[in-house]
A and B are shown apart, each in its own frame.
Chain A
Amino acid sequence: MTTTTTTTTESTTGTQTAPRHQAVKAFYFNTSAHLLRITTLKANTLAELLDCLRACPEDSIFQHTFRTLQEHHFIREGFSNDFAHWALAACNQPGLAEQLASVDVREFTSLSDLRERFIEILANHLKRHHADASKIAEETFYFCAADIVVLPTDTVAGSMQEFVKGLREASVHSIHHHFIEARLRIKLMSNDFSQWLHEDVGLTDTARALNRIDIYTATLEDVRRQIVRVVERSLT
């Protein structure tokens, strides 16, 4: 499996210090909005999917992994990324679908590495199962891409209490932006919340605990509740 660069809060040593309830720097809640663009690439077989995976823009990899996870944030289990879904629903390849679904976007800080992982899985599958390559799928896979606009919101947290309030009131898009998409921006196996808690508040263990929240077995609302619970626990 392709690995990614890893300077993370998880690797940071040190014990949890008493929280600075007044943070060194405020946390600015942002959000991101996505517009779906249709590309000219499409696949009707697994071989074509492989070709398209190699040729598509990184925006497409983002759309069909990170972004689609957000679009289906209400599903607790059974949805991981569009490639896995298509392999199962349109190509009737449960084994391949399982492998593709097991790709955890949190393990990647670059879309290029994420793309390589999908290519690796699919190429290996087709190497072992030549006949699968040219079977016509029940539905076409249309490669889309996301145009993303980052938006500031009015919510700023200068204290832990304000941070918790912001977490409770933020949209799920904002939670996704800071908690899941963030790693592509900060290029760390972490997220904006953990970074802030670690660097500006001194809550290293709390920061680390947030990184252990499983986004694939919970809805984004569940994830939000878990984040709030972990952060609140640090205040007691």
Chain B
Amino acid sequence: MTVDQADKHEANREGIKLVKSQNAASQQSISTLASETETKQPSQVSQPATAYPERRKAPRTWETPPEPVPAPHFDDYRPIVGDAEINELRFLARPLKGKTLKMVNSTAVGGGVAEMLNRLVPMLAELEVTTHWDVITGGNDFFEVTKAFHNALHGTEYQLNRAAQEIFLAYNEQNRQRMQFQEDVVVIHDPQPAGLIRSKKDSPGRWVWRCHIDLSNPNPQVWGFLRPFIDQFDAAIFSSQSFARQLPIPQYLFYPCIDPLSEKNKELDDSYVQQICDEFGIDRSRPIITQVSRFDRLKDPVGVVQAYKLARKYVDCQLVLAGGGASDDPEGALVLKEVKEVVGNDPDVIILDLPPWCALQINALQRASTIVIQKSIKEGFGLTVTEALWKGKPTIAGAVGGIPNQVIHKLTGALVHSVEGCAYQIRYLLTHPEFAAQLGRNGREHVKESFLMTTNVRRWLLLLRILMGERTV
């Protein structure tokens, strides 16, 4: 990536200087893709726009991934969730002192599961629940098969053949032979290591299958192949009620969660938020509508632009589309092209193609936003919604996947089913700021109650106690 002429035009942080927008550089992995125009479309503006800060040709952002941030300590969460919550987690953990837990998944870095385990394992250790984390190994052939299984379990067409089954079984057996399972509870994440369940008969512990994927419409051949393994576990965990299957074992619901101390979600100085807005040419004196999502049709970025355009007939606002995937994914590039076509020459639409390590910048963009949108057509859980709610932002989101678990219409946000519905909610929230603020407050509390890392720790501790024979009432 090149940071092109970042110092050439100093953005006016006070937003006083009247300047015109700049066209974007397009060949950068971090790029500001504000549409090119010198004049605003009169029909789209009902209120006179105030000053525009200068929009940089390219923002001053990091070219390489930053150094990893050390995991926080358990007590670092005290100011966020309160003494009572932290103390309760310690009470919950007390009888588990000295108990052991093993987590097994298929990758140590990258991906949501590894990210979650990187935080969860040290937190459990701090609570004196000894937690081992093992990663299975396999050749390319194994991971090709498991990738195909993954897609098939999400409903993609796939013809399961004997060779794929044998590869899956052989690598699972190879891993099984080299691994020990002496812990009180063994948790197998996702289908890749599911074959390790064959060790259950020689193990003293209880076995849990933690499924992070949507099994609501699985390919019957692949599910039929995996099902006999899953039935042997003592319990299963799913991320949504709708992802669960009919199984003969107890199934628990663990919502995905966010870490309030991560780069993506930690509190930021307003000066940093301002700096990021300046770099991307976003005017904080005017309403900012943001969608953070990769350029993927299922996230409906074109629909977001259409909704913005409808809303702009009545209210002044800017639209920020912050995503990724356009640089390394041909489909993403195509979607980005479509988005730019719909945007046309509107200087108030700022399109950012960000690499995955821009968590801090995403955090700042979300915090700078007046409203956050997640107008997905299909969604897993929708952690970008969780992030927005946590930042107290009034959020408009498509009523799909796990989003309705987070956005309760008119209570913690607004659920929409169409471009027109999205446009109306933008108008309504921008013209009813007190109601919008109340949604934001409720949304943050909802996340605090159900979707934070600490809540996830609570669920794990509870599950361990229940699996170890705690009598429930």
Contacts and interface: CB of A to CB of B under 8 A. Distances in A.
Interface string B442-473: 10011001100000001101110110001011
B84 interface: yes
Given A74-B442, A74-B449, A75-B411, A35 B88 contact: no
Given A71-B450, A169-B83, A33 B466 contact: no
B241 A142 contact: yes
B246 A147 contact: no
Interface stretch (A49-57, A156-164, A170-178): A170-178
A173 B143 CA distance: 43
Interface stretch (A2-10, A13-21, A36-44): A36-44
B466 A35 contact: yes
B253 interface: yes
B273 to A, nearest CB: 25
Given A37-B251, A37-B252, A151 B408 contact: no
Interface residues of A, number: 39
B88 A149 contact: no
Contacts of A142: 241-242, 244
Interface string A37-80: 11010100000000000000000000000000001111100110
Contacts of A104: none
Nearest to B247: A40
A74 B253 contact: no
B88 to A, nearest CB: 6
Interface residues of B, number: 40
A85 B411 CA distance: 11
B404 interface: yes
Contacts of A138: 399
Given A38-B241, A40-B246, A73-B449, A149 B87 contact: no
Contact of A71 (B92, B241, B409, B449): B449
Contacts of B224: none
B253 A78 contact: no
B410 interface: yes
Contact of A33 (B87, B409, B412, B458): B458
Given A35-B466, A38-B253, A173-B88, A148 B473 contact: yes
27 contacts: A31-B88, A33-B88, A34-B462, A35-B252, A35-B463, A36-B252, A38-B251, A42-B241, A72-B408, A72-B446, A74-B442, A74-B446, A78-B410, A79-B408, A89-B404, A89-B408, A140-B242, A142-B242, A149-B465, A149-B472, A151-B88, A153-B88, A154-B87, A169-B84, A171-B85, A173-B88, A185-B473
| Interchain residue pairs A-B with the least CB separation, the first 6 | A74-B445, A142-B241, A171-B84, A36-B253, A35-B462, A38-B251
Given A36-B252, A38-B238, A171-B87, 12 more contacts: A31-B91, A32-B473, A33-B92, A33-B461, A42-B241, A71-B450, A78-B410, A140-B242, A142-B244, A149-B462, A149-B473, A152-B91
Interface of B: 82-85, 87-88, 91-92, 238, 241-242, 244, 246, 250-253, 399, 404, 408-412, 441-442, 445-446, 449-450, 458-459, 461-463, 465-466, 470, 472-473
